[in-house]
Copies of this chain bind each other. A is one copy, B any other.
Amino acid sequence: MNLLVVGSVALDTVETPYGKVEKALGGSAVYFSVSASYFTKVGVVAVIGQDFPEEHVQFLKSRNIDLRGLRREPGLTFHWRGRYSSNLNEAETLDTQLNVFEIFHPLIPEEYREAALVFLANIDPELQRNVLEQVTHPQCTICDTMNFWIGGKLRELKETLQRVDILIINEGEVRQISQEYNLVRAYQKIASYGPRILVVKQGSYGALLFTPSSIFSAPAYPLEKVLDPTGAGDSFAGGFTGYLARSQKISEDELRRAVIYGSVMASFAVEDFSLERLKKLTLKEIEERFAAFRRLTQF
């Protein structure tokens, strides 16, 4: 096992100006693992309910994703319902039903414990730390979080961050956790919490990578049509971490390329609803878009 992800598997009901899906496949661990599966072998630790369609399980298996850590519990699958207005930048949450996710206690299967890379998707920081206690000397730990935990469990989150190498969060969360508007100063503060490396997701503006020795700025791919931004951040993290797991080297150069592969995967994810675009993706398309990012930035 190269890469382990702990996060949510969900059924999402999403409405955008371009359409609507009902109880479609979603969740951070799903977007992450499907995206990463184009680069490496991924093991998933997550929980689903009795209602979770078998076809989705089969799809994940078809992507060669290891599901030994996916447990089916009595009850319903985590369900999120949201809506995007015309600028597609911010989701309005209409309903959240945690269901089986409410009692989720990640138990890392024996076979996953020596994973080289561990991605902690956006879950309770106490659970994230609990995962880190179950794995043995990972080469690199990568972590996501959100405003809800920064506001409500900051002390626990900071304890988790002490053991994290790379933090991947969005711009607003960077400012909230650091209490710094300026991103250069915000990185300095966040590095003092633990993570040496910070990736700032900026939606349609791209992403910034801060390391102790440099800053890297990556654009977003200018798409003519974005159908559904759900899962863009987790698809980014999946491409980023999946690429690092494949390269087995966390150097400055590889981190930069990983950010571009993350951006590539996010750009595909938003081209259709749910996992529809990622399902149909080919390695050739991924490499072509990587090349397009070069043309987009070269001067």
Contacts and interface: CB of A to CB of B under 8 A. Distances in A.
Interface in A249-272: 253, 256-257, 259-260
A135 B226 CA distance: 43
Q: Which of A223, A226, A297 counts the most B-chain CB atoms under 10 A from its CB?
A: A297
Interface size class of A (residues with CB under 8 A): 35 or more
- List the number of copies, as a whole number: 2
Contact of A206 (B88, B217, B225, B260): B217
Given A205-B202, A206-B217, A217-B206, A223 B184 contact: yes
Interface string A214-256: 1111111011111000000000000000000000000001001
Interface in A202-216: 202, 205-206, 208, 214-216
Interface of A: 86-88, 181-185, 202, 205-206, 208, 214-220, 222-226, 253, 256-257, 259-260, 294-299
Given A182-B225, A185-B224, A297-B299, 15 more contacts: A86-B181, A88-B181, A182-B226, A183-B222, A184-B223, A202-B205, A205-B205, A208-B222, A215-B222, A215-B296, A216-B296, A217-B219, A217-B220, A217-B297, A260-B299
